[in-house]
Structure formats: C-alpha cells, structure tokens
Amino acid sequence: MIVDCAHYLDGKRCDEGVVPLQDAAARCEEGGFVWLGLFEPDEEELAQVRKTFGLHELAVEDALNLHMRPKIERYDPDVQLVILRTARYDDAAEEVEFGEISVFLSPTFVIAVRQGVASDLRSARQRLEQRPELLAAGSSSALWAIMDQVVDGYAPVIAGLEHDIDQIEATVFSGAVAPTERIYSLRSEATDFYRAVHPLLAVTGTVERAAHKKLRPYFRDVRDHLLLVDEEVTDQRDLLGTVLQANMAVISVEQTKLSLLQNSTIEQLTILATIFLPLTFVTGFFGQNFGWLVRHIDSPGKFIIYGIGGLLLPLLMLYLWLRRRTRATAVPAPPGG
C-alpha cells in the first residue's frame, strides 16, 4: 500500500497530495528526488514499483523478506538497499516488537518499504519537510530522517527494559526469589534488541562516509545516539546474566533451608517412632494369650518388672547408642596456639 509519494526539488515539496506512481517515475528526470513510502506491500505491488523505477529483482526480493540484522547492499551502481530494524517495547507483555524498513536509495529517488507496526515514518517526513536546507542536499536527507526516526525509537525500548530489569534486580538482591522464566525472557528480548542495534553501527558508518558533506554531521549525530543505545543494551544483557546467577544462588539457599527443615522434621519423626517401637513391642508381647503369661504375670510387681522394665531397657540402650554416635561424629577442636 502506498502511504505517500512526493517530489522534492530545491528543498521543497512540489505537490500537496500523493503523486501517482507513473508520474513519480517521470518526475525523477526533472531534478530533485522522489520519496515513495510503502507499507507492507504485496509481491504484485512491489513488482510494479520495481518495473517503474528499474530496481534489481534481488533487491526487491530482499525487501520482501524479514531480516534479523540491519545491513546495506549495493545492487546497482546508483542504487543502495539499506535494511533497518525498528523496535517498540510492549510493557504489559515485556516483549520487544520489531518491524523492518527497507530503503532503496539513489540520487533521484528514495523508496521506503515498511514492515510491522513499529515502523511509522510520517513524523520523519514532516520533520524533514520543515528543514529545506537539508532537503536541498538530496535524497540522502530522506535516509537521514528515516534513520534518525528509527534510532530515536530505540530510547523507549531501553527505558522499558530498564524498568523491568530494575524490578527483578530489587527482588533478587533483597534475598527473595524472582521467577527464573521472567529473567530468561527479558535476557532473550535484550539479546534480540542487541542484534537490531549493534550491526546498525556499521551501516551508519558506511552511509556517513558516502553522504553529502552538509549531511555528515547529522549522520554522525545519529551514530552517537546509536552508540549510547548499543552500550546500554550491552550493559543490560550483562546485568541480566548477573541477576540470573544471583537468582540461582538465592534459589539454592532456599532449597538448602527447605532441605534442612525436612531433615529436622524427619529426625523428630524418627525419634518418636523409635520411642514408640518398644511400646509396640510390649503391647504386642503382653497381648499374646500364652498360658505362661496368663498364669505367671498376675501381680503389679511382675508387671513392673516385665512390662516397664522391658520398656526402659531398650530406651536405655537407644540413649547409649545415640550418645556414642554423637561423640563419634563430633569434630575435634583445633589445637591451641
């Protein structure tokens, strides 16, 4: 879909509305340059643009495919293809939404093919139209406006990631456990964002060297902003790695505490079971209906001797065994100096 198409000459827009595609190609012969903006065109529409402006078929095919990294390619002596990745942060989902802008750049035209919702260029065109001294420098001014808009869009992404990372960092370093899945997810988003930012440094360097001398300071400014974004996203990736290790340490401590609590509970249950084991033996023994038991244990004294004594003896043996075991496992004190 064609969003806008205009012919610029001597730093001014020559028409108020959208210039038809066929007329735009003819305007290229009149001087200045044509800026054509497309949003998610289909193959048929791009084929018409290729035929009208004489674009290389491989360049058009490249513009239809989504890329993981920005790049710059030269398919014809006078036509360059610049791939940029746009980004927008969804704070609710804690995800970075990516788009793509493919820019065909020649001295007589600029064709911007946008893919994805995070790639609006209306404000970039309006801002450039208010700078006639830059428009007069040629088609590279449109590329500067697009790149400046893309890089400015990276700042809210950095801020959104920073906010969520601060929350996780505060949770982990307070001694609480943060969801490990959330840390992994944020680190993955930061890594994908790094892949969109870091390769663009080489692209901006190449474009800056080839640009009109009037535009070089502006491309240099874009590169400076991009360097700051690159440094910040690199620091965020490293910080998330540190937070992940710290969170694993906190989880390990919590698991150790739980294990010690379980061991203490099992120890107490074992002691209770050991105490009641002789009682079970005594009740089971005296519950037998043997004739000897019925005839001979018929007084309180005999019951104390056989019953209580039969209970105290195993308890005494258990006490002696536990005491001996405690002494055997005790750590000897270091010799004094």
CB neighbour burial string for 25-64, b if at least 16 within 10 angstroms, e if fewer: bebbeeebbbbbbbbebeeeebeebbebbebbeebbebbe
Count of the separate structural domains present in the chain: 1
Asked if residue 177 has pLDDT above 50, the reply is yes
What is the per-residue pLDDT for 331?
54
CATH code: domain of residue 55 = 3.30.460.20
Amino acid letter for position 53:
F
247 part of a folded domain: yes
Round to the nearest angstrom and report the end-to-end CA distance of the chain. Answer: 88
The 10s digit of each residue's pLDDT in 207-233 is 999 888 999 999 999 999 999 999 999
Q: What are phi and psi of 119, to 5 degrees?
A: -145, 35
276 part of a folded domain: no
DSSP β-bridge partners for residue 8: 13, 33
96 part of a folded domain: yes
- Rounded to an integer, what distance in angstroms lies between the CA atom of residue 19 and that of residue 22? 8
35 part of a folded domain: yes
Give the domain range for residue 97: 2-252
Q: pLDDT higher for 298 or 169?
A: 169
As a whole number, mean pLDDT of residues 153-178 equals 86
DSSP for residue 67: -
The 10s digit of each residue's pLDDT in 17-39 is 899 888 888 888 888 999 999 99
The mean-pLDDT minimum among 123-127, 143-147, 174-178, 214-218 falls in 174-178
168 part of a folded domain: yes
Name the band, by pLDDT with cuts 50, 70 and 90, for residue 337. Answer: very low
53 part of a folded domain: yes
Q: By CB neighbour count within 10 A (0-12 exposed, 13-18 middle, 19+ buried), where does 130 fall?
A: exposed
As a whole number, mean pLDDT of residues 253-259 equals 78
Asked if residue 183 has pLDDT above 90, the reply is no
As a whole number, mean pLDDT of residues 95-121 equals 89
As a whole number, mean pLDDT of residues 238-243 equals 88
As a whole number, mean pLDDT of residues 302-323 equals 73
The mean-pLDDT minimum among 17-26, 142-151, 242-251, 328-337 falls in 328-337
The reported pTM is 0.75
305 part of a folded domain: no
266 part of a folded domain: no
Name the band, by pLDDT with cuts 50, 70 and 90, for residue 66. Answer: confident
Look at residues 73, 81, 76 and name the one whose alpha carbon lies nearest to residue 105: 81
The mean-pLDDT minimum among 127-141, 150-164, 271-285 falls in 271-285
